[in-house]
Structure 1
Amino acid sequence: MARSARELFEEAMRLDPEERATLMRLLIETLEAESEEGVDDAWRVEIERRMAELDSGTVQTIPWEELRERLYRR
């Protein structure tokens, strides 16, 4: 029989702080892995789109110094 989240939490609270931190990191990593599954594909599509815009001349880059100046003026 599977234990409930509340039961697991109560058991985890009996761990020392270092072990709780390790458990927390492991749980967070599983959530991040699930949420990132489609991210790589989405970024690949976005990168390809931006590269195509640069190659076709649809957009132009600006030097970092100019961008920094624009940002400081805001």
Structure 2
Amino acid sequence: MSEAFKMFLENIEQLSTKEKALAAHCLLSSMDPENTLDVDKDWLLLAESRSAELESGAVQAISWDEIKKNIIS
């Protein structure tokens, strides 16, 4: 994992919600520029699916701190 990415993860909580959304959009858009028009639709579908999984109890939520520990280690 690059130092730049580690630094980004360690400081992500300092970003506002809008900054986090912009960073996510920029990262996704940079992966496949031809599909940028579908990014918002895809995010909405994913968010709705994940929300339904949480509400039904099919999955358990984990904290951002736990996610960071798993990524960084």
Question: What is the TM-score when the length of structure 1 is the normalising length?
Answer: 0.41
Q: Which has the higher contact order (CA 8 A, sep 6+)?
A: 2
| Larger-Rg structure | 1
Write 1 or 2 for the structure with the bigger share of helix: 2
Question: What is the TM-score when the length of structure 2 is the normalising length?
Answer: 0.42
